[in-house]
Structure 1
Amino acid sequence: MRPSPLLVLVVTVGGALGTTGRYAVTHLIGTTHLIPWATLLVNVVGAFLLGLLLERLSRAGPETPARQVVRLGLGTGVLGGFTTYSALALELHDLLAAAEVAAAVAYGVGSVCAGLVACAGGIALGARGDRP
């Protein structure tokens, strides 16, 4: 089954917006010698927002065409473009190539763990909206 041109456009525009946001964060924070803080920040914030978005959408009921546009536009598009696990992999490679093994392990494990905790926090916050 082929995706509709509208959905492809929604993901494309969302991805462009998310990538632009990541670019802005990277240039605002800059780079450091060991830990790439900008990449860590966008990945953790993105994981939180994705958990929040998907939890709220799942609690809203069955997927409708409008919810599909929101899920694909914001989730796959914006947050998919905002987060950058390919940059994480490249930065880990660079740290290992520079023999910064401890920093690479801390950065890699810390990024994944922080992302999981952030996603769980987004899910928990998204679930709170249903409480009286």
Structure 2
Amino acid sequence: MATGASAAHEGPDPARHNGGGAAGSARHGPHLRPSGLSLVFAGGLVGVAAREGLSLAVPDADGVPVVVPLVNLLAAFLLGYLYEALARVSPGTALAGRVKLLVGTGFCGGLSTYSSLATDTATLLVQDRGGTAAAYALGTLVLGAVATLAGIALGSRLHPHEPDRHELRRIEGHATGGRA
């Protein structure tokens, strides 16, 4: 059983989820605080503006929107990279939490648009372009998974994890069967 600061990172505290109320609302995570909501809003605003700017600048290719899959792939890559890099550089810190809210939830959430992907796919189907619709939707989803994995790989390569002395003790204890 952990004590002190490390206990806060072991998982959710059931006492924190007491069903709401005035006393309960003060104990919610940073994502529900005004500062956290402001970070998500600001990041989302920039993400939506970037997507719209790209949509205006990049023409469709043969009636197929190019920007929608591109921004979805970019957001998937950024999320993979962001979360892996933060987990290795500053796991559980307040700064990591704020970056996740601003860039992960806000910017990447505003940049990506799976609702437009669905609408564009439906439009292609209505136009009797079933093959194009299938390639458009499935290609985006499969390539999105690959982009996320590529982001994770890059994050782990650029930010190698070096265990601290406490982690080394835990590893050594497991290697010796608990006999350290």
> Fold match, TM over 0.5?
yes
Q: Which has the higher helix share?
A: 1
Among 45, 49, 59, the alignment partner of 2:74 is 45
Shift of 1:37: 0.9
Q: Secondary structure of 1:126's partner?
A: helix
Write out per-residue CA displacement over residues 52-100 of structure 1, whole angstroms, 9 at most, x where no aligned residue: 0011011124312221110011000001100111100100110111111
What TM-score does the superposition give when structure 1 sets the normalisation length? 0.93
Structure 1 distance, partners of 2:137, 2:102, is: 28
Preserved contact between residue 73 and residue 143 of structure 2 (Cα < 8 Å): yes
Q: Name segments (4+ residues, structure 1) moved above 6 Å.
A: none
Q: CA deviation at 1:32?
A: 3.1
Displacement of 1:27 after TM fit?
A: 1.1
Q: Is 1:73–2:102 an aligned residue pair? A: yes
Distance 1:82 1:100 in 2: 26
CA distance in 2, matches of 1:34, 1:116: 25
- Please say if residues 34 and 103 of structure 1, whose CA atoms lie closer than 8 Å, have aligned partners that are also in contact: no
User: Which residue identity does 1:72 align to in structure 2?
Assistant: L
Q: Which structure 1 segments of 5+ residues have no match?
A: none
**RMSD (Å), alpha carbons:** 1.6
Higher relative contact order (CA 8 A, sep 6+): 1
Which structure has the greater CA radius of gyration? Answer: 2
Q: Does 1:21 align with 2:50?
A: yes
Flag structure 2 segments of 5+ consecutive residues without an equivalent.
1-24, 163-180
